[in-house]
């Protein structure tokens, strides 16, 4: 039995299978999941688990080269945006913004969408896998 890190077997498998430039999404409880994209639903109740809790875990488990956020988070959820960007940039992860509609279109290409219990606006991020060498 695995004794630390992410214990969820589905998430562990997704991470092990990811290659350079593959993408996964950490999503709030409202982001639509396109047909054909794997969804791992971790939501238990409103706010549990939070977007930030899962992002922290993923940053410890995954080599991330780029994070994509919806531009709308800047105005609609400024505190979460600031905390998220600060955390990502401290780890030398490139941060870019796109319109939310474009974000939803991009989600069609994700390996998986991991849904949290987060219920604040635009609490979604696309994490693009880096390479260890």
27 annotated among ligand-binding-site residues: no
Burial of 43 from C-beta contacts in 10 A (0-12 / 13-18 / 19+): middle
Three-state DSSP class for 45?
Answer: strand
20 is catalytic: yes
Would you tell me how many other CB atoms lie within 10 Å of the CB of residue 51?
Answer: 25
Measured between alpha carbons, how far is residue 24 from residues 2, 3, 30, 45 in Å?
22, 24, 16, 22
35 annotated among ligand-binding-site residues: no
97 annotated among ligand-binding-site residues: no
110 annotated among ligand-binding-site residues: no
Which listed residue (20, 38, 82, 108) is catalytic?
20
The terminus-to-terminus CA distance of the chain in angstroms comes to 29
**Catalytic residue list:** 20
Q: Indicate the annotated binding residues for substrate.
A: 28, 100, 122-124
Binding-site sequence positions: 28, 100, 122-124
């Amino acid at each position: 039995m695995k004794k630390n890190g992410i214990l969820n077997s589905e998430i562990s498998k997704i991470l092990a299978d990811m290659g350079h430039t593959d993408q996964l999404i950490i999503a709030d409880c409202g982001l639509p999941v396109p047909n054909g994209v794997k969804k791992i639903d971790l939501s238990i109740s409103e706010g549990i688990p939070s977007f930030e809790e899962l992002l922290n875990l993923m940053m410890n488990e995954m080599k991330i080269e780029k994070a994509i956020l919806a531009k709308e988070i800047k105005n609609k959820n400024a505190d979460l945006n600031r905390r998220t960007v600060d955390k990502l940039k401290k780890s030398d992860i490139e941060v870019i913004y796109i319109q939310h509609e474009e974000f939803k279109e991009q989600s069609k290409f994700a390996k998986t969408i991991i849904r949290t219990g987060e219920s604040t606006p635009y609490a979604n991020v696309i994490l693009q896998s880096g390479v260890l060498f």
